[in-house]
Amino acid sequence: MTLSASASPLRFSHPYESFHHSPAPHSNTAPNIGMNTPAQIASIVSDLTSTARHGMLRAPALALPTISMAKLFFRYAAMNSGKSTQLLQIANNYETMGKAVTLYTSAIDDRYGVGMVTSRLNIQREANTFDAGFDFLAQDYGDTACILVDEAQFMTPEQAQQLHRLAHTRHIPVICFGLRTDFRGHPFPGSAWLLSLAEDVEEIKTICQCGRKATMHIRIDGQGHRVKEGPQVEIGDEARYRAVCGQCFHRD
């Protein structure tokens, strides 16, 4: 069987995220055969064999964002979902291709040292920091091929607007990673603006202890009891926060 890779009806939204498949009428992509009968499966396999014989079955393309597709990306998730791991992998992928990246993280996140992007897989690298007064537009990005921002929930609304303008006026892809809401379920101002402005928004999935998809997180005290009141920002790791599903979030 010979497969043609001349074009691709499958689209990766980003090289480190699952691809989305939206087949058009008369799609030449493989169907889902999970619950079909043996006769239906035999028919599907026959159709695929015929399609491949005529060179119509095509492999997916994989590409990093370039200046021709510069826009603002926002990848959000509950805590402990691998956001920083994905950021560091993307940075590595660009640099392996000989392209420069600029990394940022929040100056208030000192869990692993100020100015450090750290994965729970014990991968770490230095990054520039931003605080509430930082101006992303005032920086010289030189030959930067991509800007990567960790802990983006701590940005101000103005900084989210700056990054949107930067992507479209300087033609540099900007990929932000962060939480969507705080421990009370209230949106972080920076995240609310990123959700409004980003052209490409995607959830990074993780699971709750109960097995459902975690979409929220809760704050806990030193004895493991839930804390429902307090300041929005309180830096902490698994000892202070837990990713939960909506049902567990609303459980008293």
Alpha helix (H) ranges present in 21-82? 38-53
Cα-based distances in Å from 99 to 48, 118, 144, 145, 147: 39, 21, 7, 6, 11
Phi, psi of 196 (to 5 degrees): -80, -35
Phi, psi of 228 (to 5 degrees): -110, -10
Just list the catalytic residues.
Answer: 151
* CA 189 – CA 228 distance, rounded (Å): 19
Map tokens 């119509």 to a residue: 56
Segment (H or E) for 178: strand 174-178
The CA-based angle 230-247-199, given to 5 degrees, is 80
| Among candidate residues 245, 250, 240, 251, the one with its CA nearest the CA of residue 210 | 245
